[in-house]
Amino acid sequence: MRVPVLTYHGVNIAGNDYRGNDHVAFAADLALIQRLGLRIVPLWQVVENALGLAAHDINRAVALSCDDGSDFDYHDLDHPTHGRQRSFYNALLDFCAAYGRDAQPRLHLTSFVIADPAARAQMDRTCLVGRGWMSEAWWRAAQASGLMAIENHSWDHNHPCLPDPGPHGLVRGDFHAVADEAQAEHEIAQAQAWLGQRLAPHRPSLFCYPFGHVNDFLRRDWLPRRGAAVGLCAAFGDGAEPVTADADRWNLPRYICGWHWKSPAELEAILRRDVGA
């Protein structure tokens, strides 16, 4: 079992070329994966295989995820500088239209979203352009589409734009700082409960560490002890290697677009190395 998990950020729009725009990269990468003869599978199937809970066919497979849950994940939006942007969801539909649904019958994207509406509104005002582009209005439709899943990216990302210190003395801007029981309950368990209410009957089961910040308290103590009780079965970091059967379930690795690869050639090299494409 060697499955690379590729990760994108809908707000990464610094131009309209591959290197500066995750939406351009995402569409190009779908075509590359198809050209290499690889299969796209849902992230939850990779997790179930890694944990020995199922035996899905994931040979020569790739899984896809995106972080932060901006409206760019689902809706086409007019960026104030770089114009109309095709959403990740609509790029999936474009792929189906171009290649046929049977080309990738398990085509799927997991979106890790931030739960707290007040935090999302603050991020929208300070980090985007204040147009309400960190909403939750699209979550249920995305989940119901069969092409996307909504999962847990924490309560408020412990984002630096939020008041510092945060609840329980939380120092903002660093998820390593989530290092005691009260802080973990605030950031992870609270998000699980909120997302479960908003998405019922779907209940998130995967967590993704904001900033890719993984500390020993969460990875080795809180998540192994509390994860199952709050509905989580695995967590993802950014380890830049494929998920294997012996990977740490509370720190499963991913590759990040724009960091671990910056061009189709670099991604192709990763895929050929990891899955023998």
Distances from the Cα of 123 to the Cαs of 117, 156, 184, 197, 252, in angstroms?
10, 9, 21, 22, 27
Strand-pairing partners, residue 63, are: 5
Inform me whether the pLDDT recorded for 277 exceeds 80.
no
Phi, psi at 199, each rounded to 5°: -115, 0
Give the Cα separation of 273 and 139 in Å (integer): 35
Report the mean per-residue pLDDT for the chain: 97
Among residues 133, 220, 237, the alpha carbon closest in space to that of 184 is found at 220
Look-up: residue for tokens 């002890």? 225
Span 212-224, average pLDDT: 97
Distance CA 207, CA 251 (A): 10
Instruction: Give the CA radius of gyration of the chain.
Output: 18
How confident is residue 276, by pLDDT bands cut at 50, 70 and 90?
Answer: confident
Q: What is the pLDDT of residues 57-81, one digit of tens each?
A: 999 999 999 999 999 999 999 999 9
Q: Which helix (H) or strand (E) holds 64?
A: strand 61-68
Q: Is pTM, for the whole model, over 0.85? A: yes
Q: Which domains are assigned to the chain? A: 5-275 (3.20.20.370)
Confidence (pLDDT) at 234: 98
